[in-house]
């Protein structure tokens, strides 16, 4: 700013004449003591980040980050003498962060209760599907016997034929491709034809892919139509009958 030597009125640095008294200001240097333009306040980036992380308070690392950034930005805003704003955002981030830290243990407790129940329900559904599939294999094997006068040599013989080929003894199209491949709904299916006291028969088994994860019980079926089970090892013809 240029200070008029006549009336002491402040003028712009580029002014040639005083805006108050018209005195000539050409060649007059700007006053070294002239007040500088005040800095415009701006929002703290950490305060913004704290609030954003606070929106994800249900994720533990995000909640902790919101708290840390909130405290840092709040301290910087207090010390900035008005140059920084965003105290409300930093406060919101801290509140959400602390809420997340307090809420996450409840989520973990609920998960600890719910996950085992979901796992047990899934295993029960897999076991029910395994029993139903063994009954399908029983029915298909008896149908195969009535048509070809022998029990099928393998699961593949009960499965669908190749595209464009008719059903036959090698692929009777009596069960779906997944079961014929020996793997369905968390269980592995095996099959063998046997000579039972001179008469034909078969053994079909269903065992969990992962014990106590995809299922807990092992199942067995044969030409008698009885489903048997065992909990610790593969079931056979001597295992208890499923009620």
| Residues of the chain predicted below pLDDT 70 | 6-8, 20-21, 29-39, 196-199
> Residue ranges of the domains in the chain?
1-32, 44-115, 129-230
Transcribe the chain into DSSP letters: -EEPTTT--EE-TT-SB-TTT--B-TTPPPPTTSPPPPPPPEE-HHHHHHHHHHTTTTSHHHHHHHHHHHHHHHHHHHHTTTSEE-HHHHHHHHHHHHHHHHHHHHHHHHHHHHHHHHHHHHHHHHHHHHHHHHHHHHHHHHHHHHHHSS--SSSGGGSPPPTT---BTTB---S-HHHHTTEETTEEEEEEEEEETTEEEEEEEEEESSBTTTBS-EEEEETT--EEEESSS---TTSPBP-
Give pLDDT, residue 240.
Answer: 95
State the CB neighbour count (10 A cutoff) for residue 97.
26
Give pLDDT, residue 21.
Answer: 65
pTM of this structure: 0.58
* 21-36 confidence digits (pLDDT tens): 677 877 776 655 444 4
């Amino acid at each position: 700013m240029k200070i008029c030597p006549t009336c002491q009125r402040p003028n712009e640095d580029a002014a040639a004449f005083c805006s108050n008294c018209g005195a000539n200001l050409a060649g007059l240097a700007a006053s070294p003591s002239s007040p500088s333009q005040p800095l415009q306040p701006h929002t703290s980036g950490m305060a913004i980040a704290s609030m954003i992380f606070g929106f994800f308070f249900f994720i533990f690392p995000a909640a902790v980050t919101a708290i840390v950034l909130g405290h840092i930005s709040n301290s910087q805003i207090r010390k900035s003498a008005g140059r920084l704003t965003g105290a409300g955002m930093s406060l919101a981030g801290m509140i959400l962060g602390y809420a997340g830290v307090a809420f996450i243990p409840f989520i973990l407790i609920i998960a600890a209760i719910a996950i085992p129940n979901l796992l047990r329900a899934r295993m029960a559904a897999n076991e029910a599907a395994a029993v139903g599939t063994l009954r399908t294999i029983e029915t298909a094997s008896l149908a195969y016997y009535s048509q070809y006068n022998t029990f099928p040599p393998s699961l593949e013989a009960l499965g669908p034929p190749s595209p464009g080929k008719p059903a036959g003894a090698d692929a009777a199209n009596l069960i779906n491709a997944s079961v014929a491949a020996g793997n369905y709904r968390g269980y592995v299916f095996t099959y063998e034809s046997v000579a039972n006291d001179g008469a034909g028969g078969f053994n079909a088994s269903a065992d969990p892919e992962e014990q106590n994860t995809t299922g807990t019980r092992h199942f067995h079926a044969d030409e008698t139509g009885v489903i048997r089970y065992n909990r610790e090892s593969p079931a056979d013809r001597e295992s208890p009958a499923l009620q």
